[in-house]
Chains A and B, each alone.
Chain A
Amino acid sequence: MAELGPLLEVVLGGLMSGVLYALVALGFVLIFKASGVFNFAQGAMVLFAALSLVRLAEWLPFPLAFLLTIVIMTAVAWAIERLVLRPLVGQHGLILFMATIGVTFFLDGFGQTIWGSNVYQLDLGIPASPWFLLESLFPGGILVSPIDVFAAAIAGALVLALSIFFHSTKIGRALRAVADDHQAAQSVGIPLNRIWLIVWSTAGIVALVAGMAWGSKLGVQFSLSLIALKALPVLILGGLTSIPGAIVGGLIVGAGEKLAEFYIGPSIGGGIEYWFAYVLALAVLLVRPQGLFGEKIIERV
């Protein structure tokens, strides 16, 4: 039993970081579900939100900084919707995707221009020293980071709230209509622009939460933007339109990565985490082109 200790630790750690990936993936799913746009800039939004929060918190009390950051993210959402999405309504998905790549670069540069490009520490008041669980079963206990637990709890709550939102409210239904067909939704009177504003703002808030979680773990710095790249395999596994899928995908990727590193890593030189998630996603795609939970696309001729 004791030999399972390290394994359990690895798995738990992986699951926790998986939840963090899922948090970022959630933002993607939100926007895609509601507008059919794959927002490559989600990672940049995570970075921007985290940067704004951390720097504002240097002068303002934390709750105020938090609220102000939400306002800022809403403004960012508005700008993206107005300047990028609206002119591109009805265009091919690829075009929109590439536009969000442009937004990514812009936000990255802009964020660092305004807030600076150093590494900033984000202190959320969560105890940094790890907890040791189940010390009776395993010698030394299983090491668990409180930050990860906190993030998992937040993510869980967020997922629940968003799922309810999408399925049970009028706005949620409208969002699903928009994701299906922009122009059809417009023609039944759904205010496209306002919907998108709501969605992108929500994604911005999700980005903020993700930014807080990752920022306290890694420190707020440019590499946060690259977390988005890690979220992509999560989305593949979970399917782009499924909120629970994003969570499951995150867990699989998180745990899978750490396990692969643990078992295979030492024999091939380490650093498996670099590509494991991607190759896993690729393998899944070959078997199920719509991801594990995604919707099957039937093409009508």
Chain B
Amino acid sequence: MIYRETGQFRTSYAEDQAIFRLRQDKIGIAVILAIAWIGIPFFADEYLLRAILVPFLILAIAAIGLNLLLGYCGQISLGTGAFMAIGAYAAYNLALRLPALPLLLDFLLAGLIAAAVGVVFGLPSLRIKGLYLAVATLAAQFFADWAFLRLPWFTNYTPSGSVTAPPLDFFGWVADTPREKYFVCLAFACLTALLAKNLVRSRIGRSWMAIRDMDIAAEIIGIRPMTAKLSAFAVSSFVAGGAGVLWAFVHLGSWEPLAFSIDMSFRLLFMVIIGGMGSILGSFLGAAFITVLPIFLNQAPGLVGIQLSTAMVSHLEFMIFGSLIVLFLIWEPHGLARLWQIGKEKMRLWPFPY
């Protein structure tokens, strides 16, 4: 009976519209934020920060981007990796060729460039749906792969094809320790989550969901499918582009085009499906799952005494991912986020079964 709402009355629509309505939820998010901002930086070791938390946060941001497009607006995209790449290379070139601009502005502009390209590759969604659209988004992916590989201007004519990010200099403060990098990513993750959540519960979010659920009915409400779909592509690509910048600059440091190949797109797709389509929380859960699983697969057999080759681990990963996708789609298409919700529901009623 811990999770009851009894006695909590909302006396204004404003209160009812709040993101966290129940007192328990408010306490819960406060605790999580406290752990994230205070607890972890103090107690986590470098490995945890560098190899697990930073990639988790960045991929969560990218997953939010894809979720906005796929989960909320119902437009499938297999090219999210491409938009991350566009963001990364845009920021790199901006930092390189316009050194006068502050780094944050580079990030912002890179996101906007990715958004613009996203709109262009989203134009087909006005005429085609479903898997035809998926193929069109693959066009974006492969084209970006090729462009960053074969057009040397993007990589500043380096012979190896790989580039290095400039130092993370934010108005004088340089983030170069794992802890500082973690803070940067955490800040962006919280910001993205907040903005996404706001968008999703406002007019634009509802128009996305209307298009997803029944685009014909959406039209009769007065929603223009073009505006809704293209705005979804734009916002999604902006967020993915931003995540790409972070991935390249904060996590990888140096990278080559392959870092954003179709593998990345599929990884993000899995995060969104497993975590929960149409859920901001789900993006985080999915990202956590996909980030932790390979590490678990690497360590766990060793703990039980079985030795597996790296190739074998990679094959196992494939098999587990694949089966999980199928399992989730059959069993709970709304992913871990829905499971979480169901868990909360049960807690409200506990000890009663229903």
Q: Which residues of A contact B (CB under 8 A)?
A: 38, 83-84, 87-88, 91, 93-95, 97-99, 101-110, 112-113, 117, 229, 232-233, 235-236, 240, 268-272, 274-275, 278-279, 281-282, 285-286, 289, 291, 299, 301
Contact = CB atoms under 8 A, between A and B. Distances in A.
22 contacts: A38-B131, A84-B330, A91-B329, A94-B130, A97-B134, A98-B329, A99-B325, A101-B269, A102-B323, A104-B322, A108-B318, A112-B311, A268-B150, A274-B143, A275-B139, A275-B142, A275-B143, A279-B143, A281-B135, A282-B124, A285-B136, A289-B132
Given A106-B319, A279-B143, A99 B131 contact: no
A233 B262 CA distance: 16
Given A38-B131, A109-B316, A98 B269 contact: yes
B127 interface: yes
Contacts of A112: 311, 315, 318
Size bracket of the B interface: 35 or more
B135 A278 contact: yes
B139 A281 contact: yes
Given A101-B269, A285-B132, 6 more contacts: A104-B322, A106-B323, A109-B318, A236-B135, A278-B139, A285-B136
Nearest to B121: A282
Contacts of B311: 112, 117
Contacts of B330: 84, 87-88, 99
Nearest to B146: A274
Interface in B145-169: 145-146, 149-152
Secondary structure dominating the interface of A: helix
Interface in B309-338: 311-312, 314-326, 329-330, 333
B132 A278 contact: no
A128 B192 CA distance: 57
Contacts of B262: 229
A286 to B, nearest CB: 6
A197 B173 CA distance: 63
B135 to A, nearest CB: 5
B316 to A, nearest CB: 7
A110 B319 contact: yes
A93 B133 CA distance: 13
Contacts of B66: none
A167 B217 CA distance: 37
Interface of B: 74, 76, 123-124, 127-128, 130-132, 134-136, 138-139, 142-143, 145-146, 149-152, 216, 262, 266, 269, 273, 311-312, 314-326, 329-330, 333
A286 B315 CA distance: 38
Nearest to B78: A101
B270 to A, nearest CB: 8
A83 B152 CA distance: 47
Contacts of A84: 326, 330
Contacts of B74: 94
A297 to B, nearest CB: 9
A99 B124 contact: no
Given A98-B273, A271-B146, A274-B142, A103 B322 contact: yes
B216 A301 contact: yes
B127 A93 contact: no
Contacts of B319: 105-106, 109-110, 113
Contacts of A240: 131
Given A94-B130, A113-B312, A105 B322 contact: yes
A99 B323 CA distance: 9
A287 B191 CA distance: 40
A110 to B, nearest CB: 6
B127 A269 contact: no
B149 A106 contact: no
B322 A97 contact: no
Nearest to A109: B318
A103 B130 contact: no
A77 to B, nearest CB: 15
A102 B150 contact: no
B135 A99 contact: no
Contacts of B317: 109
Contacts of A291: 132
